[in-house]
Structure 1
Amino acid sequence: MATPTLSAADLFAPTEAFVLSRAELDTRRPVDLHTQDFHEMMWIQNGTVRLHTAAGKRDLTEGDLVFIAPDQSHAVQGRGEAAIVVSLAIRPGVIRALGNRHEDLQGVAFWSGGAQPMVTHRDIRQLADLNAAALKLERSPRDKLYLEAFLLPLLTALDRAPDGMAQGAPGWLIAACSAARDPAVFREGAAGFVALCGRAHPHVSRTMRKFMDQTPVDYINGLRMAYAARRLTGTADSLAEIAVDCGLPNLSHFHKTFQAAFGETPQRYRKARQRDLIQPRP
């Protein structure tokens, strides 16, 4: 029996770039999976929702966010009372054009490349922000401009695999690498990163070597030095201040780590790249 396909022609008015809706889901098991010829973003507003895919079933709870690409067969089912979802259906071509303009989106959300819908999670604060943005979108014209204004802040905030990470890396590692870009995290060093992973240190080290060819120390020091480089070229802060903010208060150790990363001392790096602002002649 062929999988039924939902058509954008039956959902979108001719000038609409998106359709935003809310629904309380039926608790009965869906008869069939279906596909669709448009993209859809759906998040769980309340209760528990069962996501059915060709790979099986998965229960989702409040704050879970699902990105569904065309041809990914799926169905959803309420689990218990008041299982409420918010759905954002997006006209065919809009997401493709967005991805063409922003290559950094590859590997996340609609561009994950998997056979199944991508699922991520928003915490209570992030969910509140998402709902507020959705309310604003709901009140706006159904144009691509307003849709992109809604999507881009969300997409840039999603966890994404760092450059060089091999495919198949576990979600916990991707999430930890994303969170570790925050100075408040990498200041705590490799131990803080491992704690963020929620796994034993040897397991984190083995997994990072397998998918990134790096140790936790390598990765954290890379983030620290990239941050230091931005501070060196973008501010007049002293080396001591920058070193402390990187989590390396020993200035000698900071110098050695920076030179190992960039092949030159912090002072030389700053002098070569920092330029005085062009001021008008009096």
Structure 2
Amino acid sequence: MIKYSEAGHIDPELLANPFWVESLSQVSPEHTHDFYEFFILSEGTCKHIVNGEVQRLKPGCLVFIRPRDTHKYEADGDGDCRFLNISCRSSLIAEALAFLNEEEFAHGLLDPPLPRIAMLSQLEMAEFFRHIERFRMLSDIDKVKARIHLKGVLVDTLTRYFFSPETTERPELPLWLEHAISKMQLKENLNQGLRALYGLSGRSAGHVNRAFRQYLNQTPTEYINQLKLNMARNLLLTTELRVVEIALESGFENVSHFYHQFKKFYHQAPLDFRKNAQVNRLLQ
């Protein structure tokens, strides 16, 4: 049995080591470790075999692994998957649980035979990735700030997604909502915004709004803004387009509104985001 140690995998000043696993071809065979870890699927599906049991995972599944857990990953059919892994030193988790000071919650997280799984919405996933991306950026600049940021993210993650006695997945999307969401990825629909979403759903605006709250824990406007911001982010990273052009290409009719929304979500102005990403690539 392979056993990984925090001494060999996690910087003692940063307390955590986040990294992307792009394919199941990159994963380790069955293993355990003396540290904690979170991992979250962003694309595809997989079978997570942990402590002799099988957990079938899909995008949005956030898993909390304890040091005693033994696990591995396998393909679920012919597909592949991509996920973000965050290895955490035991001292970091112990400090977070001591700060929360909720004994029953700690037992519910650490004692069950299988690790807990939370299900994040698309918006929640994007927010989680953004926080980890900021931690990685700060890690190259100021380890103290990076560590403080990480601790805040960890406490928020534990309380927001794992505090309930039993973490359960949200119900499956109804077919009409899944269809509307998939079609909203198309540029012509995204540019039309709510009008296109309501038309694609074939339901009243009130019905659609309630469904978004029930199944996605967000409003239709929040969902559409996130799609537009994701497109803008990708254009900033992969093109040399001016910010004004990116705003229009992403479906924002008002450039000032685009600046405000982008900075609110990513905590950086668009040009600063592009420059910081370029610096990080050079440092890697």
Q: TM-score, normalised by structure 1?
A: 0.52
Alpha-carbon separation, structure 2, partners of 1:138 and 1:109? 30
Q: 1:102 to 1:175 in 2, by over 3 A?
A: farther
Q: How many residues align?
A: 168
Alpha-carbon distance, 1:128 to partner: 1.6
Instruction: Report the Cα offset of residue 14 of structure 1.
Output: 4.1
Which residue matches 1:205? none
Give the Å deviation of 1:27: 5.3
Shift of 1:112: 3.7
RMSD of aligned Cα (Å): 3.3
CA spacing shift, 1:108–1:119, aligned 2, 3 Å: farther
Q: What pairs up with 1:239-258 in 2 under 5 angstroms?
A: none
Change (3 A) 1:25 1:107: farther
**Distance between the aligned counterparts of 1:38 and 1:55, measured in 2?**
19
The 8 Å contact of residues 28 and 78 in structure 1, kept in 2 or not, is answered as no
Where 2:19 maps in the other structure, the secondary structure is: strand
Aligned residues of 1:25 and 1:78 also touching (Cα < 8 A)? no
- Unaligned segments of structure 1, at least 5 residues: 163-169, 177-195, 197-282
Q: What's 1:124 paired with?
A: 122
> How many Å separate the matches in 1 of 2:156 and 2:27?
35
Amino acid at match of 1:144: R
Which has the higher mean CA deviation after the structures are superposed, 84-93 or 20-29? 20-29
Could you tell me which residue of structure 2 aligns to residue 147 of structure 1? Answer: 150
Contact 1:39–1:110, Cα closer than 8 Å, also in 2: no
Q: 2:49 matched to which residue of 1? A: 52
1:94-131 per-position Cα deviation (integer Å, ceiling 9, x unaligned): 11122112123753699342122211110112112112
Q: Distance in 1 between matches of 2:170 and 2:105?
A: 13
Q: Closer, same or farther in 2 for the Cα pair 1:17/1:59, shift >3 Å?
A: same
Aligned residue in 2 for 1:70: 67
Aligned-partner Cα distance in 1 for 2:13–2:48: 31
Q: Is the 8 A contact 1:105 1:111 kept in 2?
A: no
How far is 1:159 from its partner? 4.9
Moved over 6 A (4+): none
Q: Distance in 1 between matches of 2:107 and 2:46?
A: 19
CA contact (8 A) 2:23 2:81 kept: yes
Corresponding position: 1:43 with 2:40 = yes
SS at match of 1:160: coil
- From 15, 22, 25, give the equivalent of 1:24: 22
- Highest CA radius of gyration, 1 or 2? 1
Q: 1:110 to 1:4 in 2, by over 3 A?
A: farther
1:160 aligns with 2:160: no
Deviations 1:239-277 (A, max 9, x none): xxxxxxxxxxxxxxxxxxxxxxxxxxxxxxxxxxxxxxx
Q: Is the 8 A contact 1:18 1:91 kept in 2?
A: yes
- Deviation per residue, 1:216-247 (Å, 9 max, x gap): xxxxxxxxxxxxxxxxxxxxxxxxxxxxxxxx
Which residue in 2 is equivalent to 1:34? 31
Cα distance in 2 for residues equivalent to 1:13 and 1:55: 30
Are 1:89 and 2:92 counterparts? Answer: no
The answer for unaligned runs of 5 or more in structure 2 is 172-213, 215-284
Distance in 1 separating the partners of 2:49 and 2:28? 9
The offset of 1:152, in angstroms, is: 2.1
Show the counterpart of 1:183: none
Pair 1:105–1:43, CA change in 2 (3 A): farther
Give the 3 Å change call, closer, same or farther, for CA 18–102 of structure 1 in structure 2.
same
Other-structure match for 1:7? 5
**Structure 1 residues 139, 110: CA separation in 2 closer, same or farther (over 3 Å shift)?**
farther
Alpha-carbon distance in 1 for matches of 2:24, 2:111: 30
Return the alpha-carbon distance in structure 1 between the equivalents of residues 158 and 64 of structure 2: 11
Aligned partners of 2:45 and 2:57 also within 8 Å: yes
What SS does the corresponding residue of 1:139 show, helix, strand or coil?
helix
TM-score (norm 2): 0.51
1:174-185 equivalences in 2 (<5 Å): none
